[in-house]
Chains A and B, each alone.
Chain A
């Protein structure tokens, strides 16, 4: 297997549960115990009500494509394997998430339903991606 050369996430104490869940092939989101908002990306306080009472909850893994692009030429040599589909997925719980849609690009469109899948890019790193549902 060739070496993985793309940028990898470096978890912080706040975000570590998200990436540890991804390695278990689970999608976890922060949930505000005070206002009920789901939060992504992981933050120290709820961006809606500023509460510190953020708890981790398992997300259903379903969403829709809010927008996307087919990157044919990336401005980084790490992504010389372009084209790839970069997307913003609107999760059923509400938050938006940057991700890739795997599979044929011509199946991707705004509003299509997608479901989470997990890409174990290295033994230590799993990226959260989506595929058409």
Chain B
């Protein structure tokens, strides 16, 4: 028994990212985006009987789902936090479907919001990061992805221009996304390469920008999905994989755990990468997209660089990719940044892409990526005609 076709996403909430945290709290943003998603699905909050929450970086705390449920006044039959970094959004979708399939609940609110500020403690007090990484200045995500990019360039001849192209094409779509943080002007490859080098070989415009914001998705079983306002988007396949936490100790810097995650998802769906009308690969950096396209099977290993040069990744191109602009143009509101790939795929499949609608989009591949290419969750989503 698989999750194929067992549950559908029926409602979306997403806040326009703001740069400054202001007077907001993450919990207040969660309430706002939850209300939006519930209304979008045509439901009342009393219809929600499952809750998956991502704990905000800005407000890390234990037993968070219960706190969020109480603040919103929601009673649930299933509640949990999902804690797989940028893969949390995609990981929530299949967990919600699994809980529904198991009969534990019928309608799950997948919820996350965050402020652009760092909370007290994001790392275990005793950890390999504290002991063997931080003393050498391996801080944050930039350094790990820079070393991944260097190694990819070394092994496969990937170039700076190829990586920059990802940011450029995604920006073209962002210009038609009113919610995107960077939607006021197009980018060129030369502009990306002229932006400040932060960690060689990654330039400023290849690195995601932290913002405050939130995202929520309602996942429901067939009975609820049938009476949803918008066309339900069914989960056809899901796969998850992790084989390291710290990139230094990963089996490879250039072949990621996306490969088994994507293979599982495509096998469950009974589909291949060539069947997809749209892809939303997690993009914390440009190199992440290139490696995802390779490992998920959209091109051969090592050919991600040439692939993005040969294809137009914009909403009206021959290979629509991250048509919300990706996090690179949309902004990254903590864990909610990873849900932006899910919400964009849902919008496109529901036919709600507005000025950036991909024509005839019926099938989408989404990947969420946690940590430094460590936790991976792939989804295959379908709008049935």
Contact = CB atoms under 8 A, between A and B. Distances in A.
A69 B131 contact: no
B132 A74 contact: no
Nearest to B150: A67
Given A7-B130, A9-B130, A9-B132, A71 B197 contact: no
Contacts of B191: none
A12 B126 contact: yes
Interface string B306-349: 00000000000000000000000000000000000000000000
Interface stretch (A25-33, A52-60, A97-105): A97-105
B253 interface: yes
Given A67-B154, A75-B139, A97 B199 contact: no
Interface in A15-71: 15, 41, 66-71
Given A41-B128, A68-B150, A6 B135 contact: yes
Contact of A67 (B128, B151, B246, B249): B151
Given A69-B150, A73-B198, A127-B136, A11 B143 contact: no
Nearest to B247: A88
Given A67-B253, A69-B200, A110-B151, A10 B143 contact: no
Contact of A100 (B130, B132, B137, B249): B137
A70 B151 contact: no
A73 B199 CA distance: 7
A97 B147 CA distance: 13
Does more than half of chain B's interface fall in helix, strand or loop, or is it mixed? Answer: helix
B265 interface: no
Interface residues of A, number: 35
A129 B131 CA distance: 14
A6 B130 CA distance: 11
Nearest to B128: A41
A54 B135 CA distance: 25
Given A11-B131, A68-B147, A69-B146, A41 B249 contact: yes
Is the interface on chain B under 10, 10 to 19, 20 to 34, or 35 or more residues? 20 to 34
Nearest to A12: B126
A96 interface: yes
B139 A76 contact: yes
B184 interface: no
A9 B135 contact: yes
Contacts of B126: 10, 12
Contact of B147 (A10, A69, A72, A127): A69
B248 A110 contact: no
Nearest to A82: B137
Contacts of A73: 196, 198-199
Interface of A: 6-12, 15, 41, 66-76, 79, 82, 84, 86-88, 96-100, 110-111, 127, 129
9 contacts: A41-B128, A69-B143, A69-B150, A70-B199, A71-B143, A76-B137, A96-B248, A98-B138, A99-B136
Given A9-B131, A69-B146, 11 more contacts: A15-B131, A66-B253, A74-B137, A75-B139, A75-B140, A75-B142, A87-B147, A96-B249, A98-B133, A111-B154, A127-B136
